[in-house]
DNA sequence: GGATAATACGGAGCGCCACTCCGTTTTTGG
DNA sequence: CCAAAAACGGAGTGGCGCTCCGTATTATCC
């Protein structure tokens, strides 16, 4: 338990306010000042806790990102078939749930930079295991890499972010290609 | 020939300056004031010619969008096979060439709104013809629509916009799915 | 339990952005 | 050549992400 009690309390309030606001209007459209106001906190406090907007996004999204890595391990343990599609569905759902995230997720996953970077890396490792198993079973083309899989899934998720359409048909087509 | 001569000249200069700047730094990062300065014109002039940034983008991108529709017709006339892939490659190249365009292109194609809307609609019609022919030949799955095809291709293009990676591998996978 | 040092808070302010408004200059047509 | 119409230039606006610093709050030590 680190830091002062008021600091911890304010940080928690900020993350909660950000989660709500991001879900309501999208991460792009949400203004940092509005997050601070909703949390009942001064703007300065927000910026001390999170050095930039992406850091706040990372905190909001972090847990469910960790959840994705865990889900991959669990599917690998319990699901004899169709686990790859199940997991990609979950990935797309996760990105769709956090509007405005796709772009920063993509960047973070690619460069490994920023606060999202390490967590994305964990997700990629989990995806790699899942993909390897699927390839053994002939459920995925052998030349596909985990990074490519994530890129494609993120792209599909992004389409529904921009169009507010249903990504399911897109995923069907994509999975025909993954084989 | 409509309007005053200086107005026409300035408009042309603005479009040219925007084309250059967008290509150099990306449409998102390019500031409207910089476009005006590069064109040797006051900011007010820029905003009278184009009511918002997207309108300027539309003008810059319009011609090559028209070119895409024409290309579809030409491929249909001259290319006995592989025309669908050729065209999608061109579509992706077009979007990649105009960094920052993918999102507004997607929105315009979807809602048919804005200055890009009608031109995107023409592209979609052209794509529909191309796709129908490919489906006759068994080169594309029958349940795919032109809108979905464009969405998928735009999504793939967007991945390379965010990651500066090569979209070719993505397209390979995608086309396996298109069948 | 009070004094003091460490820590966190609040909000005014900065630079940049897309975008607006209006007084001034240039083109045009009779 | 001269007015009316049309277009120009650029200062100004509000909102954004983000910084800075004087003030208030918490923790520590006697």
Q: Tell me which chain A residues have a C-beta less than 8 angstroms from the C-beta of B141.
A: 173, 176
pLDDT for the residue B95 = 85
Q: Is the CB of B34 under 7 A from strand D?
A: no
Q: Mean of the pLDDT values across residues A88-114? A: 78
Considering only residues B98 and A36, tell me which one the structure prediction assigns the higher pLDDT. Answer: A36
- Residue B118 to residue B116: CA distance in whole angstroms: 6
pLDDT for the residue A136 = 94
Percentage of chain A modeled with pLDDT above 90: 49
Strand C footprint nucleotides (protein C-beta < 7 Å)? 7-13, 16-22, 26-28
pLDDT tens-place string over residues B13-49: 999 999 999 989 989 999 999 999 999 999 999 999 9
pLDDT for the residue A178 = 66
User: Which range, B1-10, B31-40, B52-61, is most confident?
Assistant: B31-40
pLDDT, averaged across chain A: 88
Query: CA A80, C1' D17: Å apart?
Result: 48
pLDDT, averaged across chain B: 88
Q: Is pLDDT of B162 > 80?
A: no
pLDDT tens-place string over residues A22-43: 989 989 899 999 999 999 999 9
Percentage of chain A modeled with pLDDT above 70: 94
Residue A121: count other Cβ atoms within 10 Å of its Cβ.
Answer: 14
Burial B30-50 (b: 16+ CB within 10 A, else e): bebeebbebbebeeebbeebb
**3-class DSSP string for chain B:** CCCCHHHHHHHHHHHHHHHHHHHHHCCCCCCHHHHHHHCCCCHHHHHHHCCCHHHHHHHHHHHHHHHHHHHHHHHHHHCCCCHHHHHHHHHHHHHHHCCCCHHHHHHHHHHCCHHHHHHHHHHHHHHHHHHHHHHHCCCCCCCCCHHHHHHHHHHHHHHHHHHCCCCHHHHHHHHHHHC
User: Quick check: A104 and A116 in contact, CB under 8 A?
Assistant: yes
Question: Taking CA atoms, what residue in B is nearest to A174?
Answer: B177
Q: Is pLDDT of A108 > 80?
A: no
Mark out chain B residues that contact chain A at CB-CB < 8 A.
103, 106-107, 110, 141, 144, 148, 151-152, 154-156, 158-159, 162-163, 165, 169-170, 173-179
pLDDT for the residue A105 = 72
pLDDT tens-place string over residues A143-155: 899 988 998 898 8
Q: Mean of the pLDDT values across residues A7-29? A: 94
Considering only residues B119 and B14, tell me which one the structure prediction assigns the higher pLDDT. Answer: B14
Q: Is pLDDT of A160 > 90?
A: no
- Going by pLDDT thresholds of 50, 70 and 90, the confidence category of residue B64 is confident
pLDDT for the residue A18 = 96
């Amino acid at each position: 338990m680190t830091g002062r009690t008021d600091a911890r309390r304010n940080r928690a309030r900020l993350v909660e306010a950000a989660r709500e606001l991001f879900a309501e209007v999208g991460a792009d459209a949400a203004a940092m000042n509005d997050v601070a106001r909703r949390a009942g906190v001064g703007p300065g406090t927000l910026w001390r806790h999170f050095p930039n907007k992406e850091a706040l996004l990372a905190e909001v999204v972090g847990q469910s990102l960790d959840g994705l890595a865990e889900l991959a391990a669990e599917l690998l343990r319990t699901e004899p078939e169709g686990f790859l599609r199940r997991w990609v569905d979950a990935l797309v759902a996760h990105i769709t749930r956090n509007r405005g995230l796709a772009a920063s997720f993509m960047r973070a996953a690619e460069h490994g930079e920023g606060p999202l970077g390490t967590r994305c890396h964990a997700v990629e490792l989990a995806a790699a295991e899942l993909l390897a198993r699927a390839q053994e079973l002939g459920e995925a083309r052998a030349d596909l890499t985990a990074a490519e899989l994530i890129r494609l899934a993120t792209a599909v998720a992004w389409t529904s972010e921009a169009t507010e359409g249903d990504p399911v048909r897109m995923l069907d087509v994509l999975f025909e290609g993954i084989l």
